[in-house]
């Protein structure tokens, strides 16, 4: 099974990274409409379309990166540099995914299509040039997450909080700079600092700058998320049973603030993964492979779900 062409095509489209598209459900979730089957179906449609688009982008990125990935201690095993998938087939796959994705997006609504089109154009420029521009490469990654959040809102026609968008930017920057820090550490440990040929931009990133940006992004994420849950936390009257058990001081509590410690721990755990475990080159692998991190995300999702859909 692992030597079949189909298996290597699946690897090429990076199913693990499809997790990033879950943020399309953010607007629907925080609007308290996740049980609205009509809205949920539309959000799921947008989610699937972004998976198709992202798959095309990943294949395109691997086409351009193949020469450098061949020199990478880990990425040289990817389907294209390893020769498991030919360049001609990769071009066909990328073009097909992008064309089908854009066609499906156009059928949803104009604003969703424009968000998807902007994402595609941005990723093409990123793949061809911007990924080699220091700082801007990380900002492009962060803007990609913001586009996903807005795309999810456009699909269901729901407004989103500016603080949620800012928290998304902070988290995306943390992941982007953390990935570069971890990748630099891995390459130096494997082939030496003088031989960073797989990602030339890493030569332009001083460790002190990366550490500073990681620290800033972590703080920015915690602060903006805290403001988001404080200002946008459900303030409807708590259920009668719970209100009878609480003192008058907590008659209308901002329950979502209970998730702030969970987010602080999650950010701190990610920093631990970067600096102590020396991992983080692949954020999706960290999420799925680091048990405390995975447990933190599950706990945050469970607590948030209970607050939004049962307590308030």
98, two tokens: 């992008």
13, two tokens: 């489209």
The per-residue pLDDT for 115 is 95
Where in the chain are the domains?
1-159
CATH dotted code for 1-159: 1.10.357.140
The per-residue pLDDT for 238 is 54
Residue 159's φ and ψ, nearest 5 degrees, are: -75, 155
The per-residue pLDDT for 280 is 57
The per-residue pLDDT for 216 is 94
The per-residue pLDDT for 20 is 87
The per-residue pLDDT for 239 is 57
The per-residue pLDDT for 47 is 95
How far apart, in whole angstroms, are the C-alpha atoms of residue 285 and residue 266?
15
The per-residue pLDDT for 273 is 86
Contacts with 92 (C-beta within 8 Å, 6 or more apart), sequence order: none
The per-residue pLDDT for 182 is 79
The per-residue pLDDT for 114 is 95
Mean pLDDT per 10-residue run, the chain (312 residues)? 79 86 92 89 94 93 81 72 84 94 94 95 90 87 91 91 91 89 72 56 80 93 94 60 58 79 94 78 71 92 89 70
Residue 282's φ and ψ, nearest 5 degrees, are: -130, 100
The per-residue pLDDT for 1 is 56
Q: Which of 51, 89, 74 is nearest to 199 (CA)?
A: 74
């Amino acid at each position: 099974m692992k030597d079949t062409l189909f298996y290597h095509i699946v690897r090429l489209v990076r199913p693990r990274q499809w997790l990033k598209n879950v943020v399309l459900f953010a607007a629907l979730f925080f609007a308290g409409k996740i049980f609205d089957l009509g809205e949920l179906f539309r959000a799921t449609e947008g989610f699937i379309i972004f998976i198709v688009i992202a798959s095309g982008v990943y294949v395109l990125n691997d086409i351009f990166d193949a020469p450098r990935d061949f020199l990478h201690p880990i990425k040289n095993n990817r389907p294209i540099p390893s020769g498991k998938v030919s360049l001609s087939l990769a071009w066909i796959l990328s073009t097909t995914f992008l064309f089908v994705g854009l066609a499906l997006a156009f059928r949803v609504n104009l604003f969703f299509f424009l968000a998807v089109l902007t994402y595609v154009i941005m990723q093409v420029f990123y793949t061809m040039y911007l990924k080699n521009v220091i700082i801007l490469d990380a900002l492009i990654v962060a803007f990609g997450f913001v586009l996903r959040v807005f795309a999810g809102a456009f699909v269901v026609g729901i407004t989103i909080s500016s603080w949620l968008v800012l928290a998304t930017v902070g988290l995306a920057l943390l992941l982007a700079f953390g990935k570069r820090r971890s990748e630099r550490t891995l390459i130096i440990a494997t082939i030496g600092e003088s031989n960073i040929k797989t990602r030339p931009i890493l030569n332009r990133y001083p460790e002190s700058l990366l550490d500073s940006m990681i620290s800033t992004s972590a703080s920015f994420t915690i602060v903006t998320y805290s403001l988001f849950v404080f200002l946008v936390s459900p303030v409807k009257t708590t259920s009668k049973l719970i209100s009878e058990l609480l003192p008058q001081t907590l008659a209308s509590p901002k329950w979502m603030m209970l998730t702030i410690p969970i987010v602080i721990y999650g950010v701190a755990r990610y920093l631990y993964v970067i600096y102590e475990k020396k991992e983080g080159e692949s954020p999706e692998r960290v999420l799925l492979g680091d048990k405390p991190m995975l447990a933190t995300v599950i706990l945050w999702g469970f607590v948030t779900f209970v607050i939004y859909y049962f307590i308030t």
